[in-house]
Structure 1
Amino acid sequence: MNQSAEKTVFAPWHDPDETPLIAFSNVTKRFGDFTAIDSISLDIYRREFFALLGPSGCGKTTLMRMLGGFETPTSGTITIDGQDMAGVPPNKRAVNMMFQSYALFPHLSVWDNIAFGLRRDRLPKEQVAARVEEMIKLVRLDKFARRKPHQISGGQRQRVALARSLAKAPKLLLLDEPLGALDKKLRQDTQFELMDIQEKTGTTFVIVTHDQEEAMTVASRIAVMDDGRLIQVDTPDRIYETPNSVYVADFIGDVNLIEGNASPRGDGKTLLHWAEGQPPLVAECPHAPETQARCTFAIRPEKVSISKDRPSDRTNVIQGRIEDIAYLGSLSVYSVLLANGTRVKAQTANNRRLSRRELTWEDDVWLSWTETAGIVLDK
C-alpha cells in the first residue's frame, strides 16, 4: 500500500453518480401573505454535516421543520432517500430532531432518557441495554449514567440529548441551534465533539445556526440564507475566500468593503477606481465587468499588511492613520482612517510576547496587499 497516498477528500456534491440523501425541489412555504421559503432547490448528501446559516427570520428553521415533517411545503417536493415526504408524518420519517432546549425528562436518569425512544418502539430489553451502553460510551457519559439531568452540567445535558437522538440510528439528525445555551469555551469544545460523533456514526447532520464561527467549524458545506432564499451554498473555505456577493462577504467573518468603479485591466485582473487622486486597486473578479461598472472590493483584515514604511513590492498600497487598536490576545486589529474617510482594518498575529509597539494611535501607516488577496464583487 502506498503510504504517501493522499486521504480521499469528502466531496460527494462533485460526484455526478452520487445520489443525494435529501433533495429540496422548488420548495416554497407561505404563511398567509408572508413567503418564508422562496422556491428553494437544494441537495444534501449522505454523511454530510450540513449547516443552514443566516440571521433571525431568514427561513432556516422553517426549512428544517419541513424536513422533519413539522411544516408542510406550500409547493415543491422534499425527498429523503428517494422517498417523497408529502403526507409522511414526523414519526414515520427516518429523521430525528434535537432541540435547543434538549427536552430531557427531569425525572428519568441519563440512562433512561437515552433508552426512552427505544422502549417506545418495544425493542427487546437486551437490545435496548446494548444500544444505550453504546451511546453512553460514544458521548463519554459512563460515570453519569444514573444521574438525573439536574445533577449534570449543561454540556453534559447536551450530550445526553445527542445520544438520545442518535439511539434509534436515524438516517438524518436535525440540530436546531444545539449549542446556543452553552458558554463560549464549552461551545467551542462541544463543536469538535459533535464533529467527532458525526464522523463515528456516519449519520447525516443538518444544523441550523446563526453563529458563523460555529458553521465554519463543523460543516462540510454551508447554505447562507436571507429572506427565504439561498444566497450561496459551498464549503466553508470557499464561502470565506470567494463569496459570491457583498451580503455573504459581510455576513461571514470580518471584512473590509470599498466601493468604486471597476473596469478590466486586460490580464484577467480588475481595476477598482475608488477615490480621486488615488491609484486604482487591483484584484480578481469572478464576474469581471466588460465595461466600467459599480462594484465593491472585499478583503479580509488578516490579508492586509500594515507598516510605517511604504512597501516597494506590492501593487496595492494606500496610506492612512491609525484611529483605533484592538488587542485580542493572539492578534491585534488596527482600524486605519484613509484620506477620503474610508476605514480599513488590518490584522496582525501577536506571535511575540510583546505586541507590536512600533505601531500606535495616530501613527501614519501604509496598508498593502497582493493582487490576489481581495475580490471584486458585482452584487
Structure 2
Amino acid sequence: MAQTVFAPWDDPQAKPLIQFRNVTKRFGDFTAIENLTQDIYEKEFFSLLGPSGCGKTTLMRMLAGFENVTEGQILIAGQDMANVPPNKRAVNMMFQSYALFPHLSVWENIAFGLKREGKPKAEIEARVDEMLRLTRLVKFAKRKPHQISGGQRQRVALARSLAKAPKLLLLDEPLGALDKKLRQDTQFELMDIQEKTGTTFVIVTHDQEEAMTVSSRVAVMDEGRIIQVATPAQIYEAPNCVYVADFIGEVNIIDGSATREGDGYRIAWAEGQEPFVAKTPSSFSDGQRCHIAIRPEKVAISADRPDDMANAVEGQIIDIAYLGNISTYHVKLGNGQMIKAQAANTRRLSRRSFTWEDRVWLSWTDTAAVVLES
C-alpha cells in the first residue's frame, strides 16, 4: 500500500496553523526581520536555519510573544496574535538552557506548569506519567536534574513543554549542548515524539545536519529574509541560489557563462579548457554569467579519462580528508580551481588507489550539477 506523503503546503485547501504576513521587526535602526511572509502547517516539523544574526531567533520570539512585531501580522490558527500575551498563546517554548528547576525532581519539573494552571491532581498525575513514558524517563522520575545526563535533561525539558499539550512547540537550538553522537540519537527521538503527539514543532538551528534530519521543511535564512523554503531533499538537490547551495553541505561552485546547446548548456569556465555540459530546467541567455554547483559525492575520481561521462577534467590531488566511511579528495585543476570529489572507502587503507600529488581525472554527468544565476 502506498504511503501518503505529508505535504499540506502543496494542498490549496489546507489551512496554515501559523501565518507570518509581511512581518518586519526593527530594533532602533537595525532591521532584524524584513517584510517576511510564510505559512507553517499543523503537524509540521519546520526548521529555521541560518548563520548567527540572520533573524531566526527573533522570528521565534515574536511567535512566542516575547517580542512585538514592528509591522505586519502573525496569526496562529487564524487569530491575530498582536495583543495576545505569551501565557495566553497555545504555544510553548523550549530554551537551549532547558531551564529546569534544580531543587525539583524530574516528575515535579514536568508537573510544574500543570500545577500552576490548577489542574486536578488525578489529571496531573496521568499526564505526567504519560509524558514520562513518551520520553522514556519513567525510571528517572524521582531524580533531580543534576543526577541525570545532558540528554535526559533535554528530554525532561521536552516532556515539560509538551505536558500542557500546546498546539505549537518552539525549540531554540534544543540540542546545542549535547555532544555529536547524543545529538544524532536525540534528533530521531524528537522526530518520534513529534509524530506521536502530532504537535507542530518549529525549531531554530544553525546545524544544517540537524535541520536536514528532522524537518518536514527547512527555511534557509539570511539577513532577516527567508531565501528558500523547501523539503530537505529539495534544498540539497535543487538550491535556488548560490547562498543556499553553499550553506547546505559541501559543494563545488564554478563560475562560468552559459550557451544553449540542444536540450542543455555548454558552460565556458576557463581559458583553453573544454566547456562543461549541463542540463537544467532554468533558462539562460547565450553568454549569461552563471555558476555551476556540484556536490562532491557526484564527482567521480579515476586514474584514466572516463569515456562515458559528459564532463571530465584532469588535476592533481593536493589534500585528502579521511572520514572513515568516505574520503574527500581536494583536486587542483590546471587553472588553479580546486574541486572536491568524494569516494566511499570500501577498501582497506593500504589498498587505496590514490594518494597525495597523484594526477587524476574528475568526471560527472550532465545532470549532476545545478546551474544557478550569478
Say yes or no: does 1:338 pair with 2:333.
yes
Alignment match, 2:183: 187
Which range moves more in the overlay, 117-126 or 353-362? 353-362
Select 1:245's aligned residue among 232, 241, 245: 241
Residue identity in the other structure for 2:272: G
Q: Distance in 2 between matches of 1:320 and 1:356?
A: 22
Change (3 A) 1:355 1:258: farther
Tell me the CA shift for residue 276 of structure 1.
1.2
Q: Distance in 2 between matches of 1:351 and 1:86?
A: 57
Select 1:165's aligned residue among 161, 164, 185: 161
Q: Distance in 2 between matches of 1:307 and 1:74?
A: 57
Residue identity in the other structure for 2:261: R
Alpha-carbon displacement from aligned partner over 1:290-309 (angstroms, at most 9, x marks no partner): 22111111000000000001
Q: Distance in 2 between matches of 1:130 and 1:18?
A: 33
Q: Distance in 2 between matches of 1:250 and 1:286?
A: 20
Say yes or no: does 1:260 pair with 2:273.
no
Q: Distance in 1 between matches of 2:122 and 2:354?
A: 68
Say yes or no: does 1:308 pair with 2:303.
yes
Structure 1 unaligned segments of length 5 or more: list them.
Answer: none
Select 2:369's aligned residue among 343, 367, 374: 374
Change (3 A) 1:12 1:258: same
Tell me the CA shift for residue 285 of structure 1.
3.3
Alpha-carbon displacement from aligned partner over 1:240-279 (angstroms, at most 9, x marks no partner): 0000000000000000011011122231x12210011111
SS at match of 1:107: coil
Q: Distance in 1 between matches of 2:266 and 2:25?
A: 42
Say yes or no: does 1:93 pair with 2:94.
no
Matches within 5 A, 1:1-379: 5-267=1-263, 269-354=264-349, 357-379=352-374
SS at match of 2:129: helix
Q: Distance in 2 between matches of 1:305 and 1:322?
A: 13
Tell me the CA shift for residue 355 of structure 1.
6.3
Residue identity in the other structure for 1:115: A
Alpha-carbon displacement from aligned partner over 1:306-363 (angstroms, at most 9, x marks no partner): 0001100011000001111111100011000000000000000112344652211111
Tell me the CA shift for residue 123 of structure 1.
0.4
Question: Is contact 1:270–1:288 with CA below 8 Å preserved after alignment?
Answer: no
Residue identity in the other structure for 2:26: R
Q: Distance in 1 between matches of 2:177 and 2:106?
A: 19
Residue identity in the other structure for 2:371: V
Q: Distance in 2 between matches of 1:286 and 1:251?
A: 22
Question: Is contact 1:285–1:377 with CA below 8 Å preserved after alignment?
Answer: no
- Alignment size in residue pairs: 374
Q: Distance in 1 between matches of 2:180 and 2:147?
A: 21
Residue identity in the other structure for 1:292: G
Structure 2 unaligned segments of length 5 or more: list them.
Answer: none
Alpha-carbon displacement from aligned partner over 1:206-252 (angstroms, at most 9, x marks no partner): 00000000000000000000000010000000000000000000000
Question: Is contact 1:350–1:356 with CA below 8 Å preserved after alignment?
Answer: no
Query: Could you state the TM-score of these two structures normalised by the residue count of structure 2?
Result: 0.99
Q: Distance in 2 between matches of 1:40 and 1:356?
A: 54
Question: Is contact 2:22–2:71 with CA below 8 Å preserved after alignment?
Answer: yes
Q: Distance in 2 between matches of 1:353 and 1:136?
A: 45
SS at match of 2:68: coil
CA RMSD of aligned residues (A): 0.9
Q: Distance in 2 between matches of 1:283 and 1:164?
A: 52
